[in-house]
Amino acid sequence: MTKRLYIETVGCQMNVLDSEMVVASLRQHGYELTSDPLQADAILFNTCSVRQHAEDKIYSALGKLRGTKRQHPEKIIGVLGCMAQKDQQLIFERAPYVDLIVGPGQLHKVPELIERAAKGERRQAAVSLDRTDGPLPEIKRSHETFDPLRDPTMRPTPFQAYLRIQIGCDKFCTYCVVPMTRGPEQGRPPEQILDEARVLADQGCLEITLLGQTVNSYRYSDGARTTRLSDLLRMLHDVPGIRRLKFVTNYPKDMSDELLETVRELPKCSPYLHVPLQSGSTAVLERMKRGYTADDYRRMMERIREKLPEAAVSSDFIVGFCGETEDEFQQTVRAVAEYRFKNSFIFKYSERPGTKAMQRLPDDVPYAVKQRRNNELLQLQNQISEEDNQQFLGRSVEVLVEGPSKAAQRRGDTGPVLQMMGRTHCDRIVVFDGTLRQAGQLLNVAIYDLTAHTLLGAVQTHHVAPAVVQLL
């Protein structure tokens, strides 16, 4: 008998990919997806711990299920992902009706744990070893990747897929909980990655985004040979069917010349680099233990501009980090003005248990100040994004069409003509009037208008070449 699964995913692309894997494995155990939690036999939350706010939302969603579980004790409620790894038994204390908690390194166990919970063995838990729980190889083994199962229906679109090349993180930035929740950095073997890319291409995937917390630090050594991200890109470039290759997120210190040259050389590599700066102040970067100074980042940007002049660069920032003075914040403002990022993700510092910042540095910037700095930086970035987009006015760009635009989805438009959206090679969003049939195609779109985050255009019909006209 078919059982129904409801899954809610928050957080980064890694979580989106993890959810795809969980759904794929549960399908093999007779589950079908539903968008209605009340209809579901199993309700799963794939969670994020990077900021407090994301956790609050999950605890509040769990709170709303208290009554549901009382009325329908047979429904299985599960918490997966980083919050499960971080809070472990605390989740059972705060929400005693939760049936299972599964950390990101244990997701292959979800079907078995659901089965056990359904048999009445309540409070199933599978988490990986903590960083201090034993010798490194054992800790590494306990953070498993779970990647070969793919489910095209769970992707952002059927033509795009994420592919994990690395798990965990060893950088230990002082504000970040990821090295604890996702464990030690481990590169996946290149053969596995290549096999998975071939499967994805066979499923009709045109664009692959390689994922890693510090994706450009990727290394895999089999003793005889070491493979780096640039080698992987060369291998994946030869996979027939794949048209675009992207990779996120980059760590500034590991942005090697070789990688930049590889991106320049390989036409399928998107000229798009997400390289978070986090702060424009060297003193703040030091407190964050980011491992580079503001000048180091400037030199890296100079190399990017020299080797990849057309590349779009985007960044992340944390405002209001411990002890951030107005002057330090203004250095961040100046950095945004100087580098003119395509876009930036801006976050208010959120103190996280288990991090060095929480242990050693007071979270002393008032919330209102964080909010004001966030707004100021965002406003500047939006202005820059809009100015930057003006270079495309009157130009034609190649767009990989993803599907109906957000506005068309909200309105429930089905056509025949509706607003469609896609992305350029450098990751800019383009909307245009089109048809559902265009999804998955690469089309030339002429840009006639723009906002800070979107280019508006019209699909160009094919010109008949003059020589052909003469023949006609």
Contact with ligand SF4 (CB under 6 A) among 173, 180, 215, 377:
173
Contact with ligand SF4 (CB under 6 A) among 78, 179, 183, 187:
179
Nearer to ligand SF4 by C-beta: 321 or 329? Answer: 321
Tell which phi-psi region holds residue 350, choosing left (phi > 0), alpha (psi between -120 and 50) or beta.
beta
Nearest-angstrom CA–CA distance, 406 and 61: 24
169 binds ligand SF4 (CB under 6 A): yes
332 binds ligand SF4 (CB under 6 A): no
Nearer to ligand SF4 by C-beta: 214 or 314? Answer: 214
Residue 123-162 contact track with ligand SF4, rule CB under 6 A, x = bound: ----------------------------------------
349: partner contacted, choices ligand 5AD, ligand SF4, none (Cβ within 5-8 A by kind): ligand 5AD
Do 269 and 232 meet the contact criterion of CB atoms below 8 Å apart? no
Nearest-angstrom CA–CA distance, 254 and 174: 19
For residue 390, give every residue at least 6 positions away whose Cβ sits within 8 Å of its Cβ, in sequence order, or none.
Answer: 450
318 binds ligand SF4 (CB under 6 A): no
Do 188 and 195 meet the contact criterion of CB atoms below 8 Å apart? no
**CB of residue 276 to ligand SF4, shortest distance in Å:** 7
Nearest-angstrom CA–CA distance, 177 and 48: 10
385: partner contacted, choices ligand SF4, ligand 5AD, none (Cβ within 5-8 A by kind): none
171 binds ligand SF4 (CB under 6 A): yes
Nearer to ligand SF4 by C-beta: 155 or 290? Answer: 290
**CB of residue 237 to ligand SF4, shortest distance in Å:** 26
DSSP, collapsed to helix, strand or coil, labels residue 101 as strand
For residue 47, give every residue at least 6 positions away whose Cβ sits within 8 Å of its Cβ, in sequence order, or none.
Answer: 10, 11, 15, 54, 55, 58, 79, 80, 81, 82, 83, 84
DSSP, collapsed to helix, strand or coil, labels residue 237 as helix
449 forms beta bridges with 456
- Please give the C-alpha separations between residue 436 and each of 275, 329, 403, 409, 427, in angstroms, as whole numbers: 34, 45, 7, 12, 21
316: partner contacted, choices ligand 5AD, ligand SF4, none (Cβ within 5-8 A by kind): ligand 5AD
Nearest-angstrom CA–CA distance, 442 and 439: 9
Would you tell me which residues interact with ligand 5AD (CB under 6 A)? Answer: 50-51, 175-176, 276, 278, 316, 318, 347, 349-350, 352
345 binds ligand SF4 (CB under 6 A): no
228: partner contacted, choices ligand SF4, ligand 5AD, none (Cβ within 5-8 A by kind): none
251: partner contacted, choices ligand SF4, ligand 5AD, none (Cβ within 5-8 A by kind): ligand SF4
**CB of residue 269 to ligand 5AD, shortest distance in Å:** 22
Q: Give exposure, 69-100, as e/b (b: 16+ Cβ within 10 Å).
A: beeeeebbbbbbbbbbbbbeeebbeebebbbb
Nearest-angstrom CA–CA distance, 385 and 249: 20
172: partner contacted, choices ligand 5AD, ligand SF4, none (Cβ within 5-8 A by kind): ligand SF4
98 binds ligand SF4 (CB under 6 A): no
Nearest-angstrom CA–CA distance, 303 and 120: 59
214 binds ligand SF4 (CB under 6 A): yes
The DSSP bridge pattern shows strands 442-450 and 454-459 to be: antiparallel
179: partner contacted, choices ligand 5AD, ligand SF4, none (Cβ within 5-8 A by kind): ligand SF4
344: partner contacted, choices ligand SF4, ligand 5AD, none (Cβ within 5-8 A by kind): none
Strand (E) or helix (H) holding 469: helix 466-471
174 binds ligand SF4 (CB under 6 A): no
Q: Which positions touch ligand SF4 (CB under 6 A)?
A: 169, 171-173, 176, 178-179, 213-214, 251
